[in-house]
Chains A and B, each alone.
Chain A
Amino acid sequence: MTLWLLVAAVVVAAVFLRRFRRWLASMAGAVWILVVLTVMSLLGVMIGQNLPPDAYVDRYGQVLGSLIYRSGLSDIFTSWYFLLSAAVLAVSLVACSFGRLRKLATARGRGRASRVGSLLLHLSMVVILAGGVVTAVFGFRYPAPVYLAAGEEMEVQEGGFTIRVDAASTEFTEEGMISEYFSDVVVIEDGDEVLSHRIEVNEPLIHNGVGLYQHEMLPSATSVREVLFGIVVRTEDGESPLTTITVPFNEEFEVPGTDISLKVLEFLADFTYDIESRTASLVSLSHRNPAVLVRMSEAGSVIDERWVFADVQTHRDDAGLPCRIFLFNYLPDYERGLTRFELSHQPGTPLLFAGFAAMSLGLCLTFWTRTGRKDADGSGVRSKTGSDPG
């Protein structure tokens, strides 16, 4: 789709080129194209991009909201009119570069460096835009982030390999701040382990042109290290004061001074319950509605098993039980965490970076050489170069 739009844009631009050649190559043309791109970018920032349709209706009302969504303003940077403007910019840059080339051929002496710089500056923009097009057409980026736990594998079809995560961990400082996320991965091709690599933030793995980039790490959504419960024990004289106990995950824990023991069997970070199948499961990987499945025993025999929630005060009939428990807090399990990768293939990036390098050189020559600086010096240039190509 994008490709066709771009082809169409270039064809349209080429048709108009004959007619508007002068305008496109002129400074005035350049200024107007830049103004159009600026206004569209401003709209993009102000409106907010790629939100769900309802968000625009909420924000701007029914009429304007749905108009924004339908006209493509909600995804303006891939809209046909933005891409067309970028294509027109590219054509304008090429057109004005011809003029620059002609002037360069006749330029002598000290003005040459600045003219070469200016030409390089404008042509490098075309290279940068071309880099963007190459990535848009031939590249890809996984739309949703990929979460993997240690031991899990994932096939990366586009790169023709599979990755296995051997370890995914978060390192903390003594003060408890996150210092690093890392994932030890093994690359498997045709059943053979060909490479093992530690991926960190800013230290990606790039294999067969596909990059795996470390984003954040989530604590496990199905296990915790330990759980902090509030507990009130029922005695013959009534209820004991509320105290707290720390129960390790999946280990039998005897409540001090009683013959009650508790075991945390399961943890779900975002709990939901399906009534028909009578099963509990995860809604998402975030810790939005945490719950623990607790088994209670008295004098060695199991008397109860129930889900306990962090933010629900009311308890299912626990009148017959020897104690009441409340889920106060828990220590997340980062060792069995979920590593989040961003996967992408950006074949236009080398072109983009080559354009950056050329443009940097062009900028230095244009603005920072002796002749370039001379150009910067005020009124002389202002009046003399009015007919320069844009």
Chain B
Amino acid sequence: MQGGIDMLLFWVAFWCYLAATLGASVYAGTRKDGVRTAVFYVTLLGFASNTGALIARSVLSGHPPVTNLFEYLSFFAWAIVLGFLFIWRKKGLELLTAFAATIAFAMMVMASLFPADVSRQLIPALQSYWLWIHVSLAILAEAAFAVAFVASLMCLMGDKRGHRRLPDRNLLDSIAYRAIGIGFPLFTVGALFAGAVWAQRAWGTPWSWDPKETSSLIVWLVYAIYLHVRRTRRGSIALTSGLSVLGFTLTILTILGSRFLGGLHSYG
């Protein structure tokens, strides 16, 4: 099944995101509107290919493309670009959005390192409509965290070097907060609650302290800390941005962790 239309589209998206990443770097240096427009269209082309790849894969396999790390990460890349497209036209964030494809590209690179075999048959444990609810909500939440991550990273860079060319720190901080305001409820409901409901049905217990469950809880706790810190006077932008960066780093470790830590979530 390897090398089908889904893989062709995956690679088109891969190269588009790489091209957009290079374009974004050029834009960061030149600040020419034409370059940003080109980056936008290349990102959009990558996004369309990414969408096509996911649809083709769903058709080929007969189930949502969320059953192994290759599928998860390419879906994640798609959701990240989707998140950035929502804020693409926002004034003052031109540089932030130009780098949408960069983080998506990083996910595509990681995806490409994992086996991309299409399996029509799901293992019995995954044969449930909760698969779709649990995993897709978790992906959307993590994509929102990714948007917050890029904004927070730019905040931190601006903080250190006093960059005038970076977007306004308060604006970046507000974007990160809004993104986490979307991601945190989605993550709570999708990753934790839907997961617990499914686990109760499939394994007979809503919570097993499985490595993936525990690391998802850690991600949740870090963003909970972020939300509390940000609402106090003590929470400087540097501190909240640092927490947002830490939260996303732990998110990535959670996604990849089941591969190395084992446990109930080791599906591939």
On chain B, the number of residues with a Cβ less than 8 Å from chain A's Cβ atoms is 52
What 5 pairs between A and B have smallest CB-CB spacing? A378-B174, A386-B233, A363-B185, A213-B204, A201-B124
A residues with a Cβ closer than 8 A to B are 27-28, 30-31, 34-35, 37-38, 41-42, 44-45, 48-49, 77, 132, 141, 173, 175, 177-181, 200-202, 204, 211, 213-215, 342-344, 346, 349, 352-353, 356, 359-360, 363-364, 366-368, 372-373, 376-379, 381-383, 385-386, 388, 390
Query: Does residue B30 face the partner (Cβ distance < 8 Å to A)?
Result: no
The smallest beta-carbon distance between B93 and chain A, in angstroms, is 13
What residue in chain B is nearest A50 (Cβ atoms)? Answer: B209
Give the residues in chain A near B171, CB-CB below 8 Å: 378
Can you list 24 pairs linking A and B with CB atoms under 8 Å apart?
A: A31-B229, A34-B228, A44-B214, A45-B218, A177-B121, A179-B124, A200-B124, A201-B127, A202-B125, A202-B201, A213-B204, A344-B204, A346-B204, A352-B196, A356-B189, A360-B185, A360-B189, A363-B184, A368-B181, A368-B185, A379-B170, A381-B231, A386-B232, A388-B232
What residue in chain A is nearest B128 (Cβ atoms)? Answer: A202
Residues of chain B from 179 to 210 with CB closer than 8 A to chain A in the complex? 181-182, 184-185, 188-189, 193, 196-197, 200-207, 209
Using known A-B contacts A38-B218, A342-B204, A352-B206, determine if residue A201 contacts B125 with beta carbons closer than 8 Å: yes
CB < 8 Å neighbour of A382 from B178, B211, B222, B230: B230
Query: Does residue B157 face the partner (Cβ distance < 8 Å to A)?
Result: no
**Are B174 and A379 in contact (CB-based, < 8 A)?**
yes
What residue in chain A is nearest B130 (Cβ atoms)? Answer: A202
Give the residues in chain B near A379, CB-CB below 8 Å: 170, 173-174
**Are B197 and A378 in contact (CB-based, < 8 A)?**
no
CB < 8 Å neighbour of B174 from A178, A204, A377: A377
B residues with a Cβ closer than 8 A to A are 119-121, 123-125, 127-128, 130, 170-171, 173-174, 177-178, 181-182, 184-185, 188-189, 193, 196-197, 200-207, 209, 211, 214-215, 217-218, 221-222, 224-225, 228-235, 257, 261
What residue in chain B is nearest A214 (Cβ atoms)? Answer: B124
**Are A344 and B174 in contact (CB-based, < 8 A)?**
no
**Are B203 and A213 in contact (CB-based, < 8 A)?**
yes
**Are A382 and B231 in contact (CB-based, < 8 A)?**
yes
The smallest beta-carbon distance between A54 and chain B, in angstroms, is 18
**Are A141 and B204 in contact (CB-based, < 8 A)?**
yes
Docked pose: A373 CA to B181 CA in angstroms: 8
**Are B204 and A378 in contact (CB-based, < 8 A)?**
no
Q: Besides the contacts A179-B121, A356-B196, what 14 more A-B pairs have beta carbons closer than 8 Å?
A: A28-B234, A44-B214, A177-B119, A201-B127, A204-B201, A215-B203, A360-B185, A360-B188, A367-B181, A378-B171, A379-B170, A382-B231, A386-B233, A386-B234
Docked pose: A356 CA to B217 CA in angstroms: 14
The smallest beta-carbon distance between B213 and chain A, in angstroms, is 10
**Count of A-B contacts with CB under 8 A?**
143
Q: Is the interface of B mostly helix, strand, loop or mixed?
A: helix
**Are A34 and B181 in contact (CB-based, < 8 A)?**
no
Docked pose: A213 CA to B125 CA in angstroms: 11
Give the residues in chain A near B174, CB-CB below 8 Å: 376-379
What residue in chain B is nearest A32 (Cβ atoms)? Answer: B225
Give the residues in chain A near B123, CB-CB below 8 Å: 178
**Are B119 and A344 in contact (CB-based, < 8 A)?**
no
Docked pose: A385 CA to B257 CA in angstroms: 37
CB < 8 Å neighbour of B232 from A28, A38, A349: A28
Give the residues in chain B near A214, CB-CB below 8 Å: 124
Docked pose: A49 CA to B215 CA in angstroms: 13
Docked pose: A344 CA to B217 CA in angstroms: 23
**Are B231 and A45 in contact (CB-based, < 8 A)?**
no
Docked pose: A178 CA to B125 CA in angstroms: 11
Give the residues in chain B near A179, CB-CB below 8 Å: 121, 124
**Are B221 and A41 in contact (CB-based, < 8 A)?**
yes
The smallest beta-carbon distance between B129 and chain A, in angstroms, is 9
What residue in chain B is nearest A206 (Cβ atoms)? Answer: B204
**Are B206 and A346 in contact (CB-based, < 8 A)?**
yes
**Are B204 and A343 in contact (CB-based, < 8 A)?**
yes
Give the residues in chain B near A364, CB-CB below 8 Å: 185
Docked pose: A180 CA to B231 CA in angstroms: 50
**Are B235 and A382 in contact (CB-based, < 8 A)?**
yes
Give the residues in chain B near A177, CB-CB below 8 Å: 119, 121
What residue in chain B is nearest A35 (Cβ atoms)? Answer: B225
Docked pose: A376 CA to B230 CA in angstroms: 10
Docked pose: A363 CA to B228 CA in angstroms: 14
**Are A34 and B121 in contact (CB-based, < 8 A)?**
no
Docked pose: A377 CA to B206 CA in angstroms: 35
